Structure 1
Amino acid sequence: MLRGSSGFYCYAVLEHAGSWPALNITEARLAFKLNTARFTYMAVSDEIQRYMPRAADRDAPRGMPLAYKEAVLLLNPAEPQFKGEVDDKYQYSLDNKDNAVHGWIAGAPGPAVGFWVVTPSNEFKTGGPLKRELTSHVGPTSLTVSMFMGTHYVGNDIVAKIKEGEHWKKVMGPVFIYLNSNPERGNFHTLWEDAKAQAEAEASKWPYTFPESPDFHKAGQRGSVTGRLLVRDRFVSGKDMPARRAYVGLAAPGQPGSWAIESKGYQFWTRASATCGSFAIGNVRAGVYNLYAWVPGTLGDYMHTAAVTVDAGGAVALGDLVFEPPRSGPTLWEIGVPDRSAAEFFVPEPNPKYVNKLFLSKDKYRQYGLWDRYAELYPAGDPVFTVGESHYSKDWFFAHVTR
């Protein structure tokens, strides 16, 4: 805790001694269980926030488990407004890149009080910017950073596998647990906006100066990497093109795209310029990395061929880097947009028996049971996409599912 600060900081240093046997770490997390009677409103993003059912509503006979235990149909909740809805913690997951702050608000009796999990940096998260993880869910429960380490949406490939005789150490955090209040009981929007502002303030102070552990590297123990990424695709342009808004990151040495299943080391990501493709990655812990990138709208993964060594206080200038996407000829046709999202494809309406009212118009892909809708919509067989006639927004299902 810091004097005058409305909250407290949490971090952990995980270490595996070289004399220890092999160890697999599937999850490492810090969870907070809040007062069930008071904290009833949850906020995960500007669009994803609402009053939530109580934990007791999930238990029989008030609730009925569905295909997996986390998804429950609310049959007779204490508050009738939730009757007939599905509660499922996975519906509130976020990508690491979007998960800066989430939490709960307590209303009456008394002033409105907010409890927020603020993540000032993603450097200690596993799987890079697109790794999806849990946030807050009915309990009321908040998971820090969603989780420090977790296998959700990836599986065993992202388990941290530490070998016998391997010395390993990693600093998780700090994250900031922020508390705010408002005498206006129903004014939750003000608390959420204040929490977002606090998240930005915490990010601006990273790396923190106050952790006493020598394992947490301060600014003077870190370096920077700069450069410019260009795309060379002669079937699109005769000139090298700037990799506009590319995701560019440093992660443990590996293969192109291996950052997505990397969990033992640190990762440092940024977005390239929207005009010239230049990038700057600051506050990088000293170490040896590969530089990885991917460009929205362009197929493939980029990896710089040479390892990048960052020294304390050092500045690595890589200059111009060229990414040549995989090609065997000009594009004849394509289905969708290569942006690592399925947002452009057809997302069906949910079964009206299993809905979450929050996602009826936006983010419909979060609804429960959409995998069953595939066989219902295409009972005779898989759909046929006819080039030049079909359109992926209505003729291509957003997920690969079984019948």
Structure 2
Amino acid sequence: MVKKKDMILATKIFVAVLLHFIVSTADSTSSINTQSNHKRTLRNHPRGSTLYPPVQLQVYDDHVVVDNGIFSMTIASPTGTVTGINFNGIENILNDRNGISDRGYWDVNWSDPSDPKDNLDKLAGKQLDVIVNDENQVELSFKRLWTFSQENNHVSLNIDKRFVVLRGSSGFYSYGIFERLKGWPDANVYQGRIVFKLQDKLFRYMAVSDERQRIMPTFEDREKGQPLDYPEAVLLTRPSNSFLQGELDDKYQYSTENKDNRVHGWICSDPPVGFWMITPSNEFRTAGPVKQDLTSHAGPVTLSMFFSTHYAGIDLGIKFRDGEPWKKVFGPVFIYLNSVTTEDDPLSLWVDAKEEMLLQTESWPYNFPNSSDYPRAHQRGQVTGRLLVHDIVLAYARNAFVGLAPPGTLGSWQVENKGYQFWTQTDNKGYFQIKNVRPGCYHLYAWVPGYIGDYMYRSIIYVLQGSKIRMGVLVHKPPRNGPTIWEIGVPDRTAAEFYVPEPNPTLMNQLYASQRTESFRQYGLWDRYTDLYPDQDLVYTVGVSDYETNWFFTHANRNVGNKTYIPTTWTVLFDLEYVIPGNYTIQLALASATAAEVQIKINNEGVSPVFTTGLIGRDNAIARHGIHGLYWLYSVDVLNSQLQAGTNAMYLTQTRGSSPFRGVMYDYIRLEKPPL
């Protein structure tokens, strides 16, 4: 048997060989800038120390240059797009074959509600303001003020994009202030982000997490490949690196939940340099801690997604109506640059980037942004308390997600998109502390892994500057009408515990070939249901079947050829020794739904359903390799007259065919007896 440490060593050697291959085929930039700082040196001295060169700003007619002796950055003026980053001997880390507006930029996707056309606005500034310019800090503002004369050309928002460079910092910060004034026209805004496109001959190794990192194809590799069911998915037929031949690439395979989306980026091996996007707080992101979004992907591209409709659908589009005013600060995020010597392992740059992420997170909220719209630590408040859960017995709400979000309804936080959210997790005894909360009005929301349903504290919580609010003991009572007869799955809002099939061997991403916990990210798994159940649908027998091996992770449609898909019906067989008076209850929790409808029938497929969800969901998690989208919960009454002593059958039909991507993912199903 191969020992684990030998496997790790072999993997490191394999990666080193691959990185060497990249070096041999890339343009050599072996000269090392004498001003570059090894990260260990940066760790030894506080930023702002006079041991580092002062920050310098040079203003020209059409651009500015900010240099702190560690790196320099060129920004087009007054548009506020980053056109160049000089670091560690690389004259420009960004792809200078792209136009100056297509290297480092902010953008939004938006539409007029009366016109379905999707518009891309790169938020080009019209005015440069130097907010701070001294030896320790430069902060620049690139503004664009909206007027009614721009109504059809730009999204109706005032834009203030900020860039901050600090003395002794190996990287820069960026944040944006978006604002609407009262009376402005209606608008839909679907996506907001900051984007950096890097030199593809240098940056070929991408890291999103400890497990998800690999050599990546270039944009040209994708252009020469074979597009599949949608444009983002490409089969690599002629990649520049033969190691990638025959693999599949899709940017959605590298999506991450907000709570885990803290650091990701790229490594160049010669010179050994890293480029990283660090997001130290989720307060400005939308839809809570488990909302998924893009990270880095082939190009090479690095993103910080502030809001989007990914894995949720248009419910997450920001809709402004009736002249609604609004203001929100997105960021700051930290764009981190690091390097090691040529004798060091380039993969150590990822380890260092994680350490930097922890330092940036501990420093939040920052003390340097010069905007009254960004409250400092002393201007914020905190909320503490303890959460218990009372299902059958009273228990500690361990590892529960507890958060503050704008006032709404039960579970509304997962589609909230205009305000700020602040989340934490409870300890083993249910205690929680939500720190650094912006002053404002909130509801407190929670959900507990292992239990269905949402919790909401009904009274509005007013957080003031410096306030310390103690909530005391809170009790979540999950939905339940009676004792459990049987259950399928684990109530954790994902389908991760169910059976994920092996992918089509001709459509694989080798990164996930040996990662069972991430295997749902493979392409084309929706058609594997047809391969496994070509003629007869899934039948699950309670007490005999095992949901980890017998329950397909998504209720998929059947491919009957010629790109035709038809609905499928799953059967759950269960025995009842006897039927008692009163209503039984099915607790049906869905982890995802895309243009789908689930109907439930009991013991007779030919009768009318006892329940239907109706047409629900637009999260597209099946196509985008997610294991969940938005969460849905239904409590379904079943009359005792519909059940019988002996064997019973519950039929689950996903009625909407026509596409491989229409379907649901189940989180958890439970049958309950009538109340005692």
Please state which band the TM-score falls in when normalised by the shorter chain. Answer: over 0.9
- Superposition deviation, residue 189 in structure 1: 2.4
User: Matches of 2:557 and 2:273 in 1, distance apart?
Assistant: 45
The one of 522, 534, 550 aligned to 1:379? 534
**Alignment-mate amino acid for residue 72 of structure 1:** V
Q: Does 1:229 align with 2:384?
A: no
User: Matches of 2:198 and 2:246 in 1, distance apart?
Assistant: 25
User: Matches of 1:313 and 1:102 in 2, distance apart?
Assistant: 33
User: Matches of 1:22 and 1:243 in 2, distance apart?
Assistant: 42
Q: Deviations for 1:309-345, whole angstroms, at most 9, x for unmatched residues?
A: 1011111111011110100101111111111222210
User: Matches of 2:427 and 2:523 in 1, distance apart?
Assistant: 37
User: Matches of 2:348 and 2:479 in 1, distance apart?
Assistant: 48
Q: Deviations for 1:191-241, whole angstroms, at most 9, x for unmatched residues?
A: 0010000000000010001000111111122111111101112x3x2xx21
User: Matches of 2:451 and 2:169 in 1, distance apart?
Assistant: 45
- Superposition deviation, residue 188 in structure 1: 2.6
Paired residues of 1:92 and 1:136 also in contact (CA < 8 A): yes
Aligned to 1:32: 196
Q: Does 1:128 align with 2:288?
A: yes
**Alignment-mate amino acid for residue 353 of structure 2:** A
Paired residues of 1:112 and 1:185 also in contact (CA < 8 A): no
Q: Does 1:137 align with 2:297?
A: yes
Length, aligned pairs only = 392
Aligned to 2:102: none
Paired residues of 1:102 and 1:116 also in contact (CA < 8 A): yes
User: Matches of 1:287 and 1:118 in 2, distance apart?
Assistant: 26
Q: Does 1:193 align with 2:351?
A: yes
Q: Does 1:203 align with 2:356?
A: no
Aligned to 1:389: 544
Aligned to 1:272: 426
Paired residues of 1:222 and 1:283 also in contact (CA < 8 A): yes
The one of 410, 413, 422 aligned to 1:256? 410
User: Matches of 2:387 and 2:362 in 1, distance apart?
Assistant: 26
Q: Does 1:117 align with 2:277?
A: yes
Closer, same or farther in 2 for the Cα pair 1:77/1:107, shift >3 Å?
same
Secondary structure (helix, strand or coil) at the match of 1:264 reads coil
Secondary structure (helix, strand or coil) at the match of 1:305 reads strand
User: Matches of 2:343 and 2:268 in 1, distance apart?
Assistant: 9
Secondary structure (helix, strand or coil) at the match of 1:368 reads coil
Secondary structure (helix, strand or coil) at the match of 2:541 reads coil
User: Matches of 1:315 and 1:23 in 2, distance apart?
Assistant: 37
Higher RCO (CA 8 Å, separation ≥ 6 residues): 1
The one of 337, 344, 366 aligned to 2:497? 344
Paired residues of 1:268 and 1:284 also in contact (CA < 8 A): yes
User: Matches of 2:554 and 2:444 in 1, distance apart?
Assistant: 30
Q: Does 1:11 align with 2:161?
A: no
Q: Deviations for 1:112-165, whole angstroms, at most 9, x for unmatched residues?
A: 100000000000011111000000000000001xx1111111100011112222
Aligned to 2:469: 316
Gaps of 5+ in 1: none
The one of 316, 319, 322 aligned to 1:158? 316
Secondary structure (helix, strand or coil) at the match of 2:484 reads coil
Secondary structure (helix, strand or coil) at the match of 2:366 reads coil
**Alignment-mate amino acid for residue 403 of structure 2:** G
- TM alignment of 1:47-58, pairs within 5 A: 47-58=211-222
**Alignment-mate amino acid for residue 54 of structure 1:** T
Aligned sequence identity (%):
57
The one of 301, 308, 311 aligned to 2:454? 301
TM-score by length of 2: 0.57
Aligned to 1:241: 395
TM-score by length of 1: 0.96
Secondary structure (helix, strand or coil) at the match of 2:356 reads helix
- Superposition deviation, residue 281 in structure 1: 0.3
User: Matches of 1:178 and 1:331 in 2, distance apart?
Assistant: 51
Q: Deviations for 1:219-267, whole angstroms, at most 9, x for unmatched residues?
A: 122111111101112x3x2xx2110110000001111111111110000
**Alignment-mate amino acid for residue 86 of structure 1:** L
Secondary structure (helix, strand or coil) at the match of 1:14 reads strand
Paired residues of 1:33 and 1:142 also in contact (CA < 8 A): yes
Q: Does 1:87 align with 2:249?
A: yes
Aligned to 2:4: none
User: Matches of 2:510 and 2:441 in 1, distance apart?
Assistant: 47
User: Matches of 1:140 and 1:119 in 2, distance apart?
Assistant: 19
- Superposition deviation, residue 185 in structure 1: 6.6
- Superposition deviation, residue 12 in structure 1: 0.4
Secondary structure (helix, strand or coil) at the match of 2:466 reads coil
- Superposition deviation, residue 353 in structure 1: 0.8
Higher strand content, 1 or 2: 2
Q: Does 1:67 align with 2:229?
A: yes
Aligned to 1:20: 184
User: Matches of 1:208 and 1:324 in 2, distance apart?
Assistant: 38
User: Matches of 2:538 and 2:504 in 1, distance apart?
Assistant: 20
Aligned to 2:207: 43
**Alignment-mate amino acid for residue 386 of structure 2:** R
The one of 478, 496, 499 aligned to 1:325? 478
- Superposition deviation, residue 186 in structure 1: 6.9
User: Matches of 1:262 and 1:50 in 2, distance apart?
Assistant: 34
Gaps of 5+ in 2: 1-164, 559-676
Aligned to 2:373: 215
The one of 98, 113, 117 aligned to 2:260? 98
User: Matches of 1:13 and 1:401 in 2, distance apart?
Assistant: 42
User: Matches of 2:241 and 2:471 in 1, distance apart?
Assistant: 59
Closer, same or farther in 2 for the Cα pair 1:16/1:155, shift >3 Å?
same
Aligned to 1:361: 514
User: Matches of 1:15 and 1:188 in 2, distance apart?
Assistant: 42
Paired residues of 1:107 and 1:185 also in contact (CA < 8 A): no
Q: Does 1:284 align with 2:437?
A: yes
Aligned to 2:620: none
Q: Deviations for 1:30-81, whole angstroms, at most 9, x for unmatched residues?
A: 100001110000000000001111111111xx30000000000011112111
- Superposition deviation, residue 401 in structure 1: 2.2
TM-align CA RMSD: 1.0
User: Matches of 2:526 and 2:332 in 1, distance apart?
Assistant: 38
Q: Deviations for 1:275-322, whole angstroms, at most 9, x for unmatched residues?
A: x10111010000111100000101111111111110111111110111
User: Matches of 1:103 and 1:72 in 2, distance apart?
Assistant: 21
Aligned to 2:238: 76
- Superposition deviation, residue 19 in structure 1: 2.2
Q: Deviations for 1:79-138, whole angstroms, at most 9, x for unmatched residues?
A: 111011001000000000111100001112xx2100000000000011111000000000
User: Matches of 2:334 and 2:494 in 1, distance apart?
Assistant: 30
Aligned to 2:67: none
Closer, same or farther in 2 for the Cα pair 1:186/1:375, shift >3 Å?
farther
